[in-house]
Structure formats: structure tokens, C-alpha cells
Amino acid sequence: MKLRKIILVFLILSLFVPAAVGAQTIEPPVGVQILLGSMTPEERVGQLFLVTFTGTDTTDTSHIYDLMHRYHIGGVVLQSANDNFASAPDTVSETFKLIESLQTLNWNLSINPPVDPVTGDTEPRSVYAPLFVGIAQEGNGPPTDEILNGLTPLPSEMAIGATWNTELASRVGEVRGRELAALGFNLYFGPSLDVLESPNTAGGDLGSRVFGGDPYWVGEMGRAYVSGLHSGSDNNLMVIAKHFPGVGGSDRLPELEVSTVRKSLEQLKQIELAPFFTVTGNAQSPQATVDGLLVSHIRYQGFQGNIRATTRPVSFDPQALSQILDLPQFAAWRSSGGLIVSDNLGTRSVRDFYVQSGDKFSARNVARDVFLAGNDVLYLGNIISDDAEDTYITTTRILDFFAQKYREDPAFAQRVDSSVARILAAKFKLYESFSIVNVVPSALDLDAIGASTDVAFEVARNSATLVSPSLQDFSTVLPNPPQANEQIVFLTDTSVTRQCSTCPEFSSLAVDALQQASLQLYGPQSGNLTSDFRLTSYSLQNLQSLLDDLKPEFIEEDINQADWVVISITDASLGQPALVRRFITERPDLLRNKRVIVFSFDAPYYFDATDISKFTAYYALYSKQPQFVEVAARLLFQELTPTGASPVSIAGVRYDMINAMAPDAGQIIPLFLDLKTDSAETGTDTTPAPTPIPLFKIGDTIGIRTGVIKDNNGHPVPDGTVVRFSTVLTGEGGGILNQTDVVTTQGIARSSFGLDKPGLLEIRAVSEPAVISEVLQLDVSSTGAVAVTVVVPELTKPVEATPEILVTEEISDYISNAGYPRFAAWILVMLFIAFIVWVTYSAGIRLAEPRSALRWALGVSLGGLLAYNYLAFGLFGISSWLSSTGFSGLMTFVLLGELIGFAAGWVWSKI
């Protein structure tokens, strides 16, 4: 009997004990239901939460131990601000150990529960489910990376977007996924799928944290990046795209303040939501499909009604969030297990929103509201309630509150069970069976971390953009790179950061980074194109001191003696562009006759047209990682030609994404027959026969497709670009037979036409402003079949005609168009001269002797006549002046001559 009881207990336990301890593997969906049915309310509630903790201590006296032991939390998020990472060179190894410790602790607490210190009894086992271990590692170093040392330094999303190359996006994602999974992370907050349609530098600037400003390309880059994350991690990484439903149009950063965007749901679907459609319902493959969406704290006036201060953000608004998630593009993804994850609840924006009416900040109410709005996973962050001492106390009270409400409120319990089922199903996607052996990766994988710098250099080389001048004008503006005898001063935007609060400080971009890169590539050991003593580096803080007249040593003298001034900025958070603007405005004397080169290692839109006009050359690099500094040095010495194009609008050079994405007017759109290819029979050794030339006759349907239509940057136009196909019957009785508007997919448009009339038929395609295409011709006969002929028009650049100067014949009685006086003018001038002579003589005989009066009159007469003759003969080009001034100019000139003549007569009378 005792043996039977033991066997029965063993069989029951085997339903949810992992295979590593002799149990059967639990497969979803049965496994999810079994696990969920075996969980206590505390265990179910705990799965909903992602928590943070301070430090790396996981012993039984630590807060994280207690949260895992008593509250069964579902996951943790590691942050550098919470000192979860060690300093270099141990960052990678210590991070691996921390995650291994967390997952092992979670396993042991479930499978080998501790002894109750009060009763001395072994505590009951809990249901084991692996922890989510999450991180936000966006790229580009601090502040958007959490791990600052040891990993491959990967670029920002905007740098990837500037390559316009989805393969590079996939490769970067693959490196990111492989390295994070090797450390033990299984939850990734990213990529950002925000669309920066109109860059906003006043506030809420996302900078280089986005792929770009066109929804189609943001979606394509995002899809490739997500695919890379999944393949690189071997599908052991949950990808949570952010910041749903899109914050690119906001004027505040979501972590700082709850902002409002004035857009309707239809506008959201076209811009903000479009990239999220691409990685959910339109993802095309499981690899390119995100596992969850991070819901941002933002409001949309278009469909949330009249926004007031008390209107909840979408993340807290059940009606608004449901309205978005019920869209067809999300519905299938959601029903397949897609997770909805709240953004960080510990941000200032959430606290300010809840306390604006004067109430105390209640973290329990915040968590309840965001959960009931429709979020499955609640990211608590460093949340602190007004009635709690710290984040740990706040977190425990939230969990206690949820467990109590689960027991008291059946509707709430049902809502919890639904989300927990989704969470467990997501964890089953990561691991075939819940075993510590499957959850903790091998330490051997750490050796490959940090070694994939080649992909970062490829992105840097292909993204580098010449913002100003144009590439065509560059050789004229800057014909030569720095010469061996020329001085260069580097002014670099640098800031100090650290991996943890007790870790040593280091510069995110060293003050002499570009100087050292230049010396390494072009110094005495590498071609001797420059020398150390000809290069000097200063920080922008030094420049600030110079402008504030604090008289820092040497900088003014070095800039004054330099031939080149190279300015590098890494972001705009501390007013760096304004400082550069102040420099070029207040001290033009220091920059006179110098080449001023500006490198933006961040977004390129911080300078206006006036600023850019004062730069000799302005480059956008989009990222400050070491490979991008190397590319900047190569650009400075003109070894590389920049091939990237900005993925966002730049008002300062009138670069607009809408125009950039439009079809290139200078292309000939290729046209092809859209033929269906028959798959070759397998298992045969025969050589496939050549494809026969298709023949068409009356009654047939002909399929047509374009080639890839290019935009003004030379890339395929976005999906949805309108193309118009036209069929024209030439000859007598001909005309347009049919016009069909279709849209492109991956740059290609397709259509079909029925052949129902005999005659010479021509088919063309137009995609404004590209209006020239190849022509498909068919001489359709009513009796036989004919082949299609392709006519390629010759694309000639329009000859710019010399502007014809139209000379308009002015109707004038006094001055000809050539600038000579007419006869009528002569008559009037003679009468005017005679009148002035008479006035002069009459006045003279009253004031002086008659002889003096006569000489004055003669002087006036001669002066007037000489002035008129000067004009009449058009001496020294005076005719052009007279043609513009007309009769009034004539009379003025004659009067001036008379005055000079009078002066000469007066002098004559005194002799």
C-alpha cells in the first residue's frame, strides 16, 4: 500500500516537474493548462510582473531572493542605473553569472524549496516556470545601451536606416540576438518602430533611436532586424517591439511626460501603426514576427476624443487600446499569443499624470489600471509609491494587492488567468521543456561575444551621408583632403559615463578619438599624410570656456593657426548644436579662410540652412561607435565616398522624405510580360527546354509587370506607390482603351489586360513624376497569334535652353529702348536750356555787371549742351543708364551739366 501511494504521488508530480528530474516533457497547449491549473493565486499573479532590483546579490538576504521566493515574480529587467552590471573587463562574464544565478535560484526555489526557519519544515514546492530576463540594448553606446563594455559595439537604428539595406539590418539583429542569448537574456525591448515623420528638436527628440521617417522603410528595416534577432538567438529571445502605437509624432519623450498627438486612427494606420503591422499581421514569416508590443504612455486626440489633462494614455485606456488591437492587422497576431507589455511604470511621466490632481501616488492603482486596460505583462521599473520606502516595498504591496483581488474578484481572476496563459505559452516558445539545462546557456558561447565588429564597420561605411554640399559640388568646394603640412584642430563633443555607480568613469567618445583614428590611418606609420604635432584636440567644454571668455589655454591660438577645424557632435541633449552655432556666429575671425568640417554622430537635422552655409562640409554618421569614428577619419581624408542617404527629413538642406521617396523622374520604367513559370519536373536528368516566346491573340489576357521602380535615392519605391498602366490602340479609330491604377509591392507593380480589339496595341506605365516607360507593342490580328515587342525609349536629359531675353519695346516719345534721346526730347531740352540761360542772364544783370551775367549765361548754355550731347552720343555706356531712367534721367543730367557750366562761368567772370 505504501509503495502504491509513493507511485501515485510520483505520477502526479511528474505532470509538472521538468524532464531534467525524470518527468515527462510538458508541451503546449496542454502544458500551459496543466501548469496554470497547478499554480496558486500568488504564483499566477507573480507571472504578470517584470521587476527591477539593485546590485548583483542573489543570496537569501537580498530583495530579489524574496521576490522570487515569496512572490514568484515572472521576470526581471537588468539596468545599469541599478548597478546590475560590473565594470570592464568583467562586464560580460559577471552578467552571465548573474543571470545564471537568477535562473538557478528560480529553479531551486521551485524544485528544492527551502526550509521554513520558524517551523523547520520544508516548504511546499511551487510550479516552475523560467524567468524572463529582459534588457533594452538599443545600440550606439550610452545612454541607449545598458551594457557598455564587452559586447560588439553596434550602431544606432538610424545608422542602419541610412544604409537602406535590409540585409545589414538583419545582420545587426543577428549579432545582437546571438550575444544577448549567450549571456542568458531571453527578453529584448526593441526594436523601436517609431516613425520620425517630422523631426522635432524643441522637445521629445528621439534622435538616432529610430530607423527613419518613412513608415514603409521603418517597417522593412524592423522586419529584417526582428528576423535577425530571432535567428541569431536561435529563437531563444522574446522580441518586444516599441513604442507602440508609435511616439514619432509626439513633442515629449514618453518617459518624461505624457504627451498628446493630434492624429486620427486612420492617420495612425498610415504612419505610426504601419511598421507594427509589418512585424505582426503582415510579418510574412514567424522569424520576422515580434513576440510582443511595448505599449507607450501617450495620448491620441484623434480617436480618444477631446483630450483633457485627465485623459488617460493609451496604455491605461481600455477602450482606446482595445480599438487599436481589434484592427485586423493585429487580431490574428493577438489570437496567436502575441503579448502586450506595459512600458515602464516607474517613469516620471506616469507619476506626474497620477498626482496632477493632488492625490498621493498609489502604485497599486497604477498597476491595476494598466493591467485592466489590456496589458498582459506589467513592467514595474523603479516604481515607488508615496506610502512606501523604496521600490522593493512598493513591489511587494502591488503583488499582495493583486493576489488578494484575485481571490475576491472572479472577473479579475479570469483576466489574470488569460494573461498568465499567454505568458506561459510565450515561455514554452523559448524552451521546449522547462528545465534549467535548457534555460541557462553554455559558458562556452561567451568566447564569441564582442568579435563581430565587421558588421558595424559595414553599416558605418554604407550609412555615411554627405549632407552638404551636394556630391556633385563637393570636388569644387573641397578639392583636396588635408595636406601633410596643414594644421588640424578637432573640437569633439564628449561626455563621461560609467557602467555602474562605483565603476570607473570613461568617455563615451574620447576627446581625441578622431585625432587618434586619423593618426592610425594616415600618420607617420601609415602613409605619412599627417603628423601628431600638426593635430590637436579639444572638447566642446573647452570651446564653451573660450566663448565665455574664461581664457582656456592654447585653444584660441591653435584654432587661429589651423587650416582645418573639425567639429564632432554626438547628440543635442546638452545644447551642443547651439554651442556650435554660437561659435561660428560670435568668432568668425577664428574661422576665416579655414575649412570647417562638421560630423554629426547622431541625427543630422539640428542645424538650419544658415548654419550649414557656414560649414565647408557637413557629414552625418548617425552613431558614435568606434567604427563610425574610423569612417569619419576616412571621409576627412577623402579615402571614402559617402554613399548613405538620410532616412529622415533635414529642413536645413530642404531634404524632404516625401520627395526623396517619390519615383525618380529621370528613370525609364522597365516593362515585362508577367509570365507564370512552370516548375520543372523533379527526378529527371533532362536539360530544361528554353522558355518559348509567348504569343497572343484576340480574347487572350496579357499580364504585365514593371521592373523595380526607383525613388530619388536610388532605392525601390515604398509599397503602395501608385502606378498607372495604359493601353493605347494606335492608328485610325484608335485611342486609350484602358487605364488601370495599381500599387507597388517591393517596388514592382502588376496588372493585366484583355485583348479584345485588333490593331497595333501599345502598353505603357507611369508613376508620377516618372512618366517614361518602356513600351510593349502587339500588332493584334483577328486571325493569328502575335508576339510582344519591347520598345525602349531613349532617355535624354532635357537641354536647358538659354533663356531668351524678350525685349519689350517701350512706347516712349523721348527715349529709345537703346537709350538715346528722341527728337521730341531734343526740342524740350533746347527749350529748357534756353529758359535757364534767360533766367541766369536776367538775374545776373541785377546782381552784377552785364559782362559777368553774360559769362554766367554762356557757362550754363555750354554746360547744358555738352551734357545733352554726352547722352545723345551714348559715351562710355551712358545709354544703358538712360534707357533705365528715361526722360527724368535726361533732364536731371542736363540740369547737372548746367550747374557745372554756371560754376565755370562764375570762375570766368572773376578773372
Predicted local distance difference test score (pLDDT) of residue 104: 96
For the chain, the residue count is: 911
Extract the C-alpha cell encoding 331: 487580431
Q: How confident is the model at residue 885 (pLDDT cuts 50, 70, 90)?
A: confident
Whether the CB-CB separation of 646 and 162 falls below 8 Å is answered with yes
Q: 838-855, pLDDT tens digit by residue?
A: 888 888 887 777 878 888
Q: 714-748, pLDDT tens digit by residue?
A: 999 998 899 999 888 876 666 777 889 999 998 99
Mean pLDDT of 71-82: 96
CB atoms within 10 A of CB 432: 13
3 state SS of 752: strand
Which are the contacts of 57, defined by CB distance < 8 A and separation ≥ 6?
Answer: 64
pTM equals: 0.81
The percent of residues above 90 in pLDDT, for the chain, comes to: 61
Extract the C-alpha cell encoding 549: 571668455
Q: 744-764, pLDDT tens digit by residue?
A: 998 999 998 887 777 788 889
**Residue 505: is its pLDDT beyond 60?**
yes
Q: What value does the mean pLDDT of the chain take?
A: 86
- Give kind and range of the element (H or E) at residue 192: strand 187-192
Separation CA 868–CA 320 (nearest Å): 85
Predicted local distance difference test score (pLDDT) of residue 802: 41
Q: 421-450, pLDDT tens digit by residue?
A: 999 999 999 998 899 999 999 999 999 999
Predicted local distance difference test score (pLDDT) of residue 791: 66
Residue 497: beta bridge partners?
Answer: 506
Helix axes 453-463, 626-636, angle to 10 degrees: 40
Closest CA to 649 of 260, 200, 225, 144: 200
**Residue 805: is its pLDDT beyond 50?**
no
3 state SS of 372: helix
Pairing of strands 292-295, 339-342: parallel
Helix axes 391-408, 363-372, angle to 10 degrees: 50
Mean pLDDT of 388-415: 96
Separation CA 129–CA 396 (nearest Å): 20
Using CB atoms within 10 Å of the CB of residue 835, give its burial: 0 to 12 exposed, 13 to 18 middle, 19+ buried.
exposed
**Residue 23: is its pLDDT beyond 50?**
no
Cis preceding linkage at 715, omega within 30: no
Encode 310-326: b = buried (16+ Cβ within 10 Å), e = exposed: ebbbbbbbeebbeebbe
Give the DSSP letter of residue 69. H
Q: How confident is the model at residue 361 (pLDDT cuts 50, 70, 90)?
A: very high
Lowest mean pLDDT segment, chosen from 196-205, 276-285, 399-408: 196-205
Q: How confident is the model at residue 804 (pLDDT cuts 50, 70, 90)?
A: very low
The CA–CA distances, whole Å, from 161 to 141, 449, 644 equal: 17, 24, 9
**Who wins on pLDDT, 151 or 821?**
151
**E strands of 303-395, at which residues?**
339-342, 378-381
**Residue 322: is its pLDDT beyond 50?**
yes
**Residue 9: is its pLDDT beyond 60?**
no
Predicted local distance difference test score (pLDDT) of residue 88: 93
Cis preceding linkage at 694, omega within 30: no
Closest CA to 314 of 291, 338, 283, 293: 293
Residue recorded with cell 526581471 = 76
Torsion angle (degrees, nearest 10) of CA 368, 371, 374, 380:
140
Predicted local distance difference test score (pLDDT) of residue 803: 40
Mean pLDDT of 596-620: 95
**Residue 303: is its pLDDT beyond 80?**
no
Mean pLDDT of 440-461: 94
- Give kind and range of the element (H or E) at residue 862: helix 850-872
Predicted local distance difference test score (pLDDT) of residue 668: 92
Predicted local distance difference test score (pLDDT) of residue 300: 84
**Who wins on pLDDT, 201 or 82?**
82
Q: 28-44, pLDDT tens digit by residue?
A: 467 788 899 999 999 99
Rg (CA), the chain: 39
Mean pLDDT of 509-530: 93
Whether the CB-CB separation of 137 and 145 falls below 8 Å is answered with yes
Extract the C-alpha cell encoding 503: 565603476
Q: Which amino acid is at 707?
A: G
Extract the C-alpha cell encoding 878: 551712358
What number of CA atoms fall less than 13 Å from residue 825's CA on the CB side?
24
Predicted local distance difference test score (pLDDT) of residue 811: 43
Residue 241: beta bridge partners?
Answer: 293
Predicted local distance difference test score (pLDDT) of residue 297: 92
Q: 655-709, pLDDT tens digit by residue?
A: 999 899 999 999 999 998 887 654 444 444 444 555 556 777 777 788 899 999 9
**Residue 10: is its pLDDT beyond 50?**
no
**Residue 229: is its pLDDT beyond 90?**
yes
Separation CA 410–CA 413 (nearest Å): 5
Whether the CB-CB separation of 738 and 726 falls below 8 Å is answered with yes
Q: How confident is the model at residue 818 (pLDDT cuts 50, 70, 90)?
A: low
Predicted local distance difference test score (pLDDT) of residue 25: 35
Predicted local distance difference test score (pLDDT) of residue 677: 52
Residue recorded with cell 520598345 = 791
